Amino acid sequence: MQPGMTKLPHLFERARFGRFETKNRIKYGACCVSNYNTRDGFITEREIARMRVIARTGCGIITNQGAYPDPLGEGKAYFRQVAIFDDKFLPQFERIAADIKAQGAMAIQQILHAGRYGGIDLGYCIQPSDVPQTLPHFRPPKVMTQEEIRDCIRQHAEAARRAIRAGFDGTEITSFMGYLLANFNSRFTNQRSDEYGGSLANRGRFMRELIDGIKQATPDHPLVVRLNGAELMDKWGGNTEDECFELMQQAVDVGVDMISVTVGWQEAPESSIGRDIPPGYWNYLSARAKKLLPNTLITFGNRLPDPRMADDCLRDGVFDFWEVCRPLLADPDLVHKAAEDRLDEVRRCIGSLNCLSRLFRDLPYTCTMNPALGHEVEPEYHVTPAAVKKKIMVIGAGPAGMECAIGARQRGHDVTVFDRAGRIGGNLLAYANNDLARPDDLLSVVSHYEVMARKLGIELRLNTEVHAKFMRSVLHQYDVCVVAAGARIDRGRVAHVPGAERLIDALDVAHGRAGVGQHVVIVGGGKVGLTLAESLRKHRGAEVTVVEADKRIAGDVKPSFKWRHASWVEELGITCLTSTSLVKIDERGATVRDAKGAERLVEADSVVLAAGAAPAHDLLHEFEWMVDELHGIGDAMVPRGLEQAIADGFRLGVRL
């Protein structure tokens, strides 16, 4: 037995699921869809390669992404979602099932009919009742007839039968995120007056018939249903938690083998899996399900990224299987590292939801922490031994620089990282120290780099300023120089403003190098300005006004997190002046001008500049004739975000 298994005995114990035995109590969740496939529903080599990595994660049960079951595509939610309505799709499903089972895992195929969120190629969606969309990018509804309901159940049963023929051991249907099953279950979207609507028993009829249809079509093969423990749809008149659990009981009464407890809809005004939700926050829902249904297998993993927490939950009877998805996108070796007692090396899922942000823009999903996700089929994204060993200097110990250093060291190069600060992290440290969501998640990125630098033998030369004079002192000692010096606030953009010399640099404030008073104007309503404004307001009680030239704040924030900043601004009482420009600064504060040309004074002790980032790429010009290879990465080239910095560093590191 591996050393980590003795520390996590409940996670790594064998278990029963129907007539099958699993090698551990870990279930890989379907994670919605990848969008790596063809527009007409066929699985691509890109997807096959991704699933080959997933098959090797070490999970006891692995769920393949949701496939839509109907030939019209009314159940299709995403441009490149896979289909399973015809035998012509089966060859690629057979390959995926074989890959999963070759690794000793149970293979489950999810069937995903999106209902209210479907019909992406059709211009309409189907749902139980004519309930208008609350999000404008979804299609107008078409009410299902009873004949169409029966056809839909038949299509699901046929899809399940196909999945079993392809080699899967079982199937799964899902109501997670507000798909068709949830549409029938919920009071919000089911306002029918026939036997499929009205009472909770009637609203659950579609689910019961769906479960029965699949069980009859695939006897002796287990069926999982993903059901909300909480819809978070109170604003729209959705189900209560009590109703959610009554629906779980209905599912069990008609023979479902496992319930996956989930949280939330796409339309929910509350977060369910984002960075602002503490790990373990939703565990009470799983515990309630297990208490209600002691003889039914319960699987759960919403915002539960840590194997140690999962092992404790298994010990305490909170659930029977840890259902994990995004943490395994962030680090496919998570389970193996847990088994080998190497959890300090894990790349933690930080809950930035870059995956969903891209998916909801009809793009293939990617991961902030794992730049290789989606590129598994491409050899150039794999770490391979270098043809020639080199001495590499990396200037900047932020995410871009450290990713590059790690990749290059794994290839066999000698790597030295220089940074003028006293710790790894760069501007990510400043951001984390002011973050209202989960600073620990962001700081885990820094901790990961510190651990890997130590374990890989990367030399760190901190508190060291690298400039032209320094480079001349080490001339010809290095074969490669990588400039990853990050970005700075661009004071040049406001140099024409009278009193600009009074402006305080936002990064200096965030790093703790500069102080501010109790009445603060922050120029710039992007992620730097908003994060600093929120921190000053919450932790210091400062009166803060944000001045933003654009029509809206949070312009550079991921789509899945814009709403969070907007809600914090409202909750904390931060004044935001949009379509407003800075006119001058004096001892009284900042004079600003709105879109109509009206000027006003905003009184302040301190005026902080957070608008406009300039790349720190001066060193590229200075070092051009001093080293054989010279590269620039991350914000030192183009200021963007954490995902791009990590990706830049990784891509360069694995090819140097």
Same domain, yes or no: 154 and 11: yes
Same domain, yes or no: 503 and 454: no
**39-66 per-position pLDDT tens digit:** 999 999 999 999 999 999 999 999 999 9
Q: Which of 596, 612, 628 is the last residue of a domain?
A: 612
The domain of 633 spans: 384-486+616-653
**239-271 per-position pLDDT tens digit:** 999 999 999 999 999 999 999 999 999 999 888
Beta bridge partners of 608: 504, 522
* Residue spans of beta strands (DSSP E) within 30-105: 61-67
**408-452 per-position pLDDT tens digit:** 999 999 999 999 999 999 999 999 999 998 899 999 999 999 999
Give the pLDDT score at 276: 86
Report the percent of the chain where pLDDT is more than 90.
92
Same domain, yes or no: 608 and 620: no
**Domain of residue 585, CATH code:** 3.50.50.60
Number of domains the chain contains: 3
Same domain, yes or no: 173 and 298: yes
What is the per-residue DSSP string for 265-300? BTT-SS-SSSTTSPTTTTHHHHHHHHHH-TTSEEEE
The overall average pLDDT reported for the chain is 96
Give the pLDDT score at 302: 94
**Domain of residue 199, CATH code:** 3.20.20.70
Stretch 573-595: mean pLDDT: 96
**266-285 per-position pLDDT tens digit:** 999 888 888 889 999 999 99
Report the percent of the chain where pLDDT is more than 70.
100
- Residue 371 counted as domain residue: no
Give the pLDDT score at 438: 86
Same domain, yes or no: 623 and 498: no
Same domain, yes or no: 283 and 155: yes
Same domain, yes or no: 436 and 560: no
How many whole angstroms separate alpha carbon 61 and alpha carbon 55?
A: 9
Check pLDDT > 90 for residue 1: no
- Residue 375 counted as domain residue: no
Residue 357 — very low, low, confident or very high, per pLDDT cuts 50/70/90?
Answer: confident
Give the pLDDT score at 359: 80
**447-487 per-position pLDDT tens digit:** 999 999 999 999 999 999 999 999 999 989 999 999 999 99
Q: Which is more confident, 278 or 72?
A: 72
Stretch 531-535: mean pLDDT: 97
Residue 21 — very low, low, confident or very high, per pLDDT cuts 50/70/90?
Answer: very high
Same domain, yes or no: 468 and 539: no
Same domain, yes or no: 422 and 327: no
For 6, the token pair is: 């003795």
Same domain, yes or no: 497 and 459: no
- Residue 117 counted as domain residue: yes
Give the pLDDT score at 212: 98
Give the pLDDT score at 31: 83
Please say whether the dihedral angle defined by the alpha carbons of residues 230, 234, 237 and 243, taken in this order, is positive or negative: positive
How many whole angstroms separate alpha carbon 231 and alpha carbon 238?
A: 7
- Residue 368 counted as domain residue: no
**162-209 per-position pLDDT tens digit:** 999 999 999 999 998 999 999 999 999 999 999 999 999 999 999 999
How many whole angstroms separate alpha carbon 172 and alpha carbon 162?
A: 13
- Residue 41 counted as domain residue: yes
Say which residue the tokens 């287990």 belong to.
222
Give the pLDDT score at 383: 96
Residue 213 — very low, low, confident or very high, per pLDDT cuts 50/70/90?
Answer: very high
- Residue 111 counted as domain residue: yes
Same domain, yes or no: 604 and 620: no
Q: Which of 343, 359, 375 is the last residue of a domain?
A: 359
Give the pLDDT score at 353: 82
- Residue 52 counted as domain residue: yes
Give the pLDDT score at 266: 92
Same domain, yes or no: 427 and 562: no
The 3-class SS string of 425-447 reads: CCHHHHHHHHCCCCHHHHHHHHH
Query: Whose CA is closest to 351, among 272, 457, 460, 266?
Result: 272
**Domain of residue 420, CATH code:** 3.40.50.720
- Residue 364 counted as domain residue: no
Stretch 370-393: mean pLDDT: 97
Check pLDDT > 90 for residue 291: yes
Q: Which of 324, 359, 394 is the last residue of a domain?
A: 359
